[in-house]
Amino acid sequence: RKTYDPTALERRWQERWAETGLYKTDEDTSKPKHYALTMLPYPSGDLHVGHWYPMTPSDTRARFKRMNGYRVFFPIGFDAFGLPAENAAINRGIHPYKWTMSNIENMRGQLRQMGAMFDFDSEVVTCDPEYYRWNQWFFLKFFEKGLAYRKEAPVDWCPKDNTTLAREQVVGPDRRCERCGTPVIKKNLAQWLFGITRYADELLDFSKIEWPERVETLQRNWIGRSEGAEIVFEIEGYGPLEVFTTRPDTLFGATFFVMSPEHPAVEKITTPEREDEVRAYVEKAARMSEIDRTDVTREKTGVFTGAHAINPANGEKIPVYAADYVLMGYGTGAIMAVPGQDERDWEFAEKYDLPIVRTVEPPEDFDGKAYTGEGQAINSGFLDGLGVEEAKERMISHLESEGTGRRAVTYRLRDWLISRQRYWGTPIPIIYCPEHGAVPVPEEDLPVRLPEDAEFIPTGESPLKRDPDFYNTECPTCGGPATRETDTMDTFVDSSWYQYRYLSPHYDQGPFDPERGAKWLPVDQYTGGIEHAVMHLLYTRFWTKVMRDMGLVDFDEPMLRLHNQGHILGEDGEKMSKSRGNVINPQDFVDRYGSDALRCFLMFIGPWGQGGPWDGRGIEGISRFLRRALSLANGGSSDAEADPAEITRRTNRTVKKVTEDLEGFRFNTALAALMEHTNYLLAVRGGVGEDEWKDALRSFALLLAPLAPHHAEEMWSAIGETYSVHEQAWPGYDEALIAEEEITLVVQVNGKLRDRVAVPADISEESAKERALASEKVRPHVEGKELRKAVYVPGRLVNLVVG
Ligand code: ANZ
């Protein structure tokens, strides 16, 4: 008898798989396609359990699809630009390229050991010029369409990493840098942006994709569409200023006007005697975070500018304030304040003793302050008596006919700021000429390569600026001396379209080979973490819509179905990640129990969508299961007399269960069903006819194949089937065979027939008696009496003797 050595077994099959090219992508177009995509990892050093957790179940799902008759494309690559590499360079003097490539080298080996069906020929490494050339190419196309533009903008700035941060990279109530935890400050810089807001409305349409409700909600809130009106107020002695409001119906109740302290007109409208006070207030506001400013619990502050505005509804003169609860980055940066219906405005009015006029009638029992609910318009001239929605419409038509306002929509979504003042990213292909301004690098000069040598000490400027060979160049238009843009692109650019590059990673006529695209696009099933709900997953949708408008693809959405897994947590209960220092190295477990045991363990610890804490002790149990499963193929004997119908029924039932569970990403319960089935098979083996036994094992190995690919292959070969189990069709099942066979039992009490009950054919004696006693018709005859005896004649009757 062979000893069980899972790692040797797995190595053996991995070699065979490699030799026979088992995971070369199936190009047989007579089969339906299935493009399965798992989020590409960042090459942080070693593959840890936090990588295995999303990847191995995705692999199981891809294998399941393959066995179900699909040609499956399941690629992998590395998201290789970004800060950690540059920080390694700063802290340890290793060049980011070297650091990244050696990590990739390492992780590639570890990925192979996983035994997943990745098609390694499609690998993409985003820091490779062969890849980022196309980031630059896209940038030029975006630039042509006006979708890439440069603008002076206040940006969130991490003073430690010396770089701008996207809004999503600023975290926590005290606004810290997501990477290093340093409090973020605001800084004004000329930045490159992508015009994602042009697609805001289309991004709100989820009708063409099956994504989790939660992701849709997060994206919807992130885009934050508000419908309302822009209304023009005349500022005395200055001119018109616009506000954005969602409640044009309340205009008659606008008793003051508030501007964001950063509003460029604040300075201009402020009267001379208020100047000092206003300036001091504006300076103070600039130092505060947006979160603090919009914190509803914080006491409202503001300053009177000395100016007055005219309410266009009733001609009344109302005071103009600057107050920090109004933000420059939203709407028009100015509001009409309606304390009667808005809580913030009410508070402000109370504090500064400003008039409050209700314009919506609150219910009789209302005893609060601002009333934000439904009700009839009051104190509102021609609107009086109308409900809120009707009044809004009426006011908008009125404003439009008067030329003092119009219907308007505002979004919370901002354009995507892609400039980073760092080295380790894609250089933005723009040249600045004193004559011709910002000139795009001609397409034939791409890629603009990152120079190999760079000084990494962070100064707030890109290290590229201090590299004269890179920095100084010629204007593509006039040939005169010019300088290069030194910002690099946000790494979310890389991951916005990588799924296209996988199709033809070395193609040099475009970002991907359209012929391959026609065969495989779009992605059918994407899997990854919920943390990407609003950045990556919104950017890649945006990117695809732009590609569609460029004629590169003929569909609207990049990924048709999305499934989010939960997070595997470290032993400390925090998300497992290298930056948190709580990673578990899978190697120790793979060396000891094998890859199949680790992947099954990760799938077994709970519903995949939930994740959970890592506790390595449980892997023993899984390892035992795999070993027992394998031992089924060893024959052996048992005295159990198995019912042939029973084994068929159980097999069919297990096939159904595992099929439905794998389709629904319920890996844990699929495994549980296989464990139960193993126990059953072990108990009856030897007592089963040869053909039935063989059939049962065949089905078992097929069901095991996506979950424990090496063990299933071993089992398949041990029962004498031909290589490879992974090229077999998924087993079917027969509902009719699953339904339990029923028989009718006669129930007698003291020899008299009282009832007939339908029960499963294989019912045990004990259950048969219970069922007899539970009968409605039997109960009256036994209640209150002593049960002296119960006799069961198998398959026929139960006789209860009472007295
Ligand atoms: C008058 C009014 C009356 C408002 C009322 C609300 C209730 P959402 O729904 O988030 O889009 N607002 C507009 N621009 C602002 C800015 N830059 N900073 C702070 N607040 C701003 O919110 C839109 C409402 O938020 C707008 O409608 C405006 O106040 C305020 F009973 O106008 B409202």
DSSP-based helix, strand, coil % in the chain, nearest 5: 40, 20, 40
Place of tokens 């006039």: 478
Are 263 and 363 part of one and the same domain? yes
279, 440, 460, 705 from 59: Cα distances, Å: 61, 42, 42, 11
Helix (H) or strand (E) holding 405: strand 405-411
- On whether residue 259 sits in a domain, the answer given is yes
* CA dihedral sign, ordered 708, 714, 715, 720: positive
Which residue's CA is the nearest one to ligand 1's atom 33? Answer: 245
pLDDT at residue 1 in the model: 45
Nearest to 524 by CA among 118, 76, 119, 210: 210
- On whether residue 599 sits in a domain, the answer given is no
Length of the chain, in residues: 803
Cβ–Cβ < 8 Å for 742, 760:
yes
Which residue range forms the structural domain that includes residue 641? 616-737
Q: With a cut of 50, which residues of the chain have pLDDT below it?
A: 1
Q: Which residues of 308-331 are buried (b: 16+ CB within 10 A; e: fewer)?
A: bbbbbbeeeebbbbbbbbbbbebb
250 lines ligand 1 (CB under 6 A): yes
| Residue to mutate (ligand 1; options 220, 230, 247; most atoms within 8 A of CB) | 247
Q: Which atom of ligand 1 is nearest to the CA of 328?
A: 17
Place of tokens 């916005």: 496
331 lines ligand 1 (CB under 6 A): yes
Residue 209 amino acid letter: I
Which residues sit opposite 430 in a β-bridge? Answer: 440
- On whether residue 12 sits in a domain, the answer given is no
Helix (H) or strand (E) holding 747: strand 742-749
Helix axes 536-549, 129-144, angle to 10 degrees: 60
How far is Cα 481 from Cα 16, in angstroms, rounded to an integer? 59
Which residues sit opposite 569 in a β-bridge? Answer: 575, 613
pLDDT at residue 167 in the model: 67
Q: pLDDT tens digit string along 233-284?
A: 999 999 999 999 999 999 999 999 999 999 999 999 999 999 999 999 998 8
How far is Cα 747 from Cα 247, in angstroms, rounded to an integer? 74
User: Listing from the earlier edge strand, what are the strands of the sheet with 481-484?
Assistant: 437-440, 430-433, 481-484, 472-474
> Which residue, 737, 767, 794, sits at the end of a domain?
737
Domain of 338, CATH number, reads 3.90.740.10
Are 761 and 638 part of one and the same domain? no
DSSP string for 227-268: EEEEEEEEETTTEEEEEEES-GGGGGG--EEEE-TT-TTHHH
- On whether residue 731 sits in a domain, the answer given is yes
- Residue 228 Cα to ligand 1 middle (Å): 9
- On whether residue 13 sits in a domain, the answer given is no
Which residue's CA is the nearest one to ligand 1's atom 31? Answer: 341
Helix (H, G, I), strand (E, B) or coil at 51: helix
Place of tokens 């029973």: 646
Are 290 and 181 part of one and the same domain? no
Are 380 and 521 part of one and the same domain? no
Are 212 and 247 part of one and the same domain? no
SS (H, E, C) 374-387: CCCECCCHHHCCCC
Cβ–Cβ < 8 Å for 404, 231:
yes
Locate the DSSP E strands across 506-607.
523-529, 559-565, 567-569
- Residue 220 Cα to ligand 1 middle (Å): 18
Locate the DSSP E strands across 275-380.
302-310, 317-323, 334-337
326 lines ligand 1 (CB under 6 A): yes
- Residue 326 Cα to ligand 1 middle (Å): 9
- Residue 251 Cα to ligand 1 middle (Å): 12
- On whether residue 767 sits in a domain, the answer given is yes
Are 715 and 760 part of one and the same domain? no
Residue 228 amino acid letter: G
Q: pLDDT tens digit string along 5-52?
A: 999 999 999 999 999 999 999 999 999 999 999 999 999 888 999 899
How far is Cα 266 from Cα 271, in angstroms, rounded to an integer? 10
Are 248 and 374 part of one and the same domain? yes
How far is Cα 456 from Cα 137, in angstroms, rounded to an integer? 26
408 lines ligand 1 (CB under 6 A): no
Are 231 and 353 part of one and the same domain? yes
Cβ–Cβ < 8 Å for 55, 39:
no
Cβ–Cβ < 8 Å for 274, 304:
yes
Q: Which atom of ligand 1 is nearest to the CA of 337?
A: 1
Which residue's CA is the nearest one to ligand 1's atom 10? Answer: 226
Are 288 and 360 part of one and the same domain? yes
* 141 known ligand binder: no
Domain of 180, CATH number, reads 3.40.50.620
pLDDT at residue 610 in the model: 92
86, 127, 437, 451, 537 from 93: Cα distances, Å: 9, 19, 36, 16, 34
- On whether residue 611 sits in a domain, the answer given is no
- On whether residue 24 sits in a domain, the answer given is no
> Which residue, 378, 411, 444, sits at the end of a domain?
411
How far is Cα 414 from Cα 290, in angstroms, rounded to an integer? 15
247 lines ligand 1 (CB under 6 A): yes
SS (H, E, C) 760-800: ECCCCHHHHHHHHHHCCCCHHHHCCCCEEEEEEECCCEEEE
How many structural domains compose the chain? 5
The pairing of beta strand 317-323 with beta strand 416-417: unpaired
* CA dihedral sign, ordered 292, 296, 298, 302: positive
How far is Cα 218 from Cα 533, in angstroms, rounded to an integer? 7
477 lines ligand 1 (CB under 6 A): no
Are 635 and 556 part of one and the same domain? no
Which residue's CA is the nearest one to ligand 1's atom 32? Answer: 245
Domain of 747, CATH number, reads 3.10.20.590
How far is Cα 634 from Cα 632, in angstroms, rounded to an integer? 5
The pairing of beta strand 256-259 with beta strand 317-323: parallel
- Can the peptide bond before residue 122 be classed as cis, meaning omega within 30 degrees of 0? no
DSSP designation for 576:
P
Are 584 and 628 part of one and the same domain? no
Return the structure tokens found at 405: 């306002």
| Residue to mutate (ligand 1; options 223, 246, 383; most atoms within 8 A of CB) | 246
Are 673 and 751 part of one and the same domain? no
Indicate if ipTM > 0.95.
yes
- Residue 245 Cα to ligand 1 middle (Å): 5
Q: pLDDT tens digit string along 511-534?
A: 999 999 999 999 999 999 988 999
> Which residue, 362, 378, 411, sits at the end of a domain?
411
pLDDT at residue 2 in the model: 62
